[in-house]
Amino acid sequence: MAFVGLQYAVAAPIQTETPGAPVTYKQGMVIGKMIGANISYTRNSDPLYADDTMAENDNSIVGGTISINVDDLSDEALVAVTGLIEKTAGSGGSTPAEYRETGDSSPYVGVGYLRVRRKAGVTSYVAYWVHKCLLAIAQEQAQTKGQTISWQTPTLEGQIMGVVINADGKTDYRTHATFTTQAAAVAWLNGKAGIGDT
């Protein structure tokens, strides 16, 4: 596979999680324009040695980490994804809303994005959905403007957790589907994140 692009970051807070059934989500949102996404899985490494050699091994996934770099994160997105708390604005809207960062954990969310793939001159769109993760801005860096602009963009980082969404009892971490059009890939992600639902 040769990937040539990355687009459409979406997220939705988890509403219900019942073992053996699909996770349901509250209405999601586009959280920003994609710059980068990285996933690293943690896998078992538990070899069985017999007759002085490795006879069996297990490399099953037990978790992972995710980072998503976007152009900007609105206060609304930070409330939904990181658990930022909005205080009520002043009367008449003359006082802007204030937001609190507390010691509470972020909410569990599902996260999705799409990658643009090109193979033998044919473009396709691979949409990914991470069923459950915890996201936060772990580090914030700020710098003054110099002779040239240095773009300062936020990165959400967190842990990927497994969910059991089928009767087969297998733990799912991420699902993907490939589409011939961007619109179809976006529609699939919107369906996962409940974007457009009323």
Question: Which domain does 128 fall in, by range?
Answer: 3-44+57-88+97-193
pLDDT for res 58: 86
Residue 52 lies in a domain: no
Q: State the pTM of this model.
A: 0.89
* 170 falls within a domain: yes
Q: Residues 47-87: pLDDT tens digits?
A: 888 988 888 888 888 899 999 999 999 989 999 999 888 87
Percentage above 90 pLDDT, the chain: 66
| 49 inside domain | no
Predicted confidence at residue 9, as pLDDT, reads 96
The CB-side HSE value for 72 (13 A sphere, CA atoms) comes to 3
Q: Residues 14-35: pLDDT tens digits?
A: 999 999 999 999 999 999 999 9
SS3 for 78? helix
Domain count of the fold of the chain:
1
> What is the H or E stretch that residue 189 is in?
helix 182-193
Please write the tens of the pLDDT for every residue from 83-121. Answer: 888 877 655 667 788 888 888 889 999 999 999 999 999
- In the chain, DSSP assigns E strands to 3-16, 24-25, 29-32, 34-43, 48-50, 53-56, 61-70, 85-87, 98-100, 108-119, 122-136, 155-160, 174-179
Does any domain span residue 198?
A: no
- Average model confidence (pLDDT) across the chain: 90
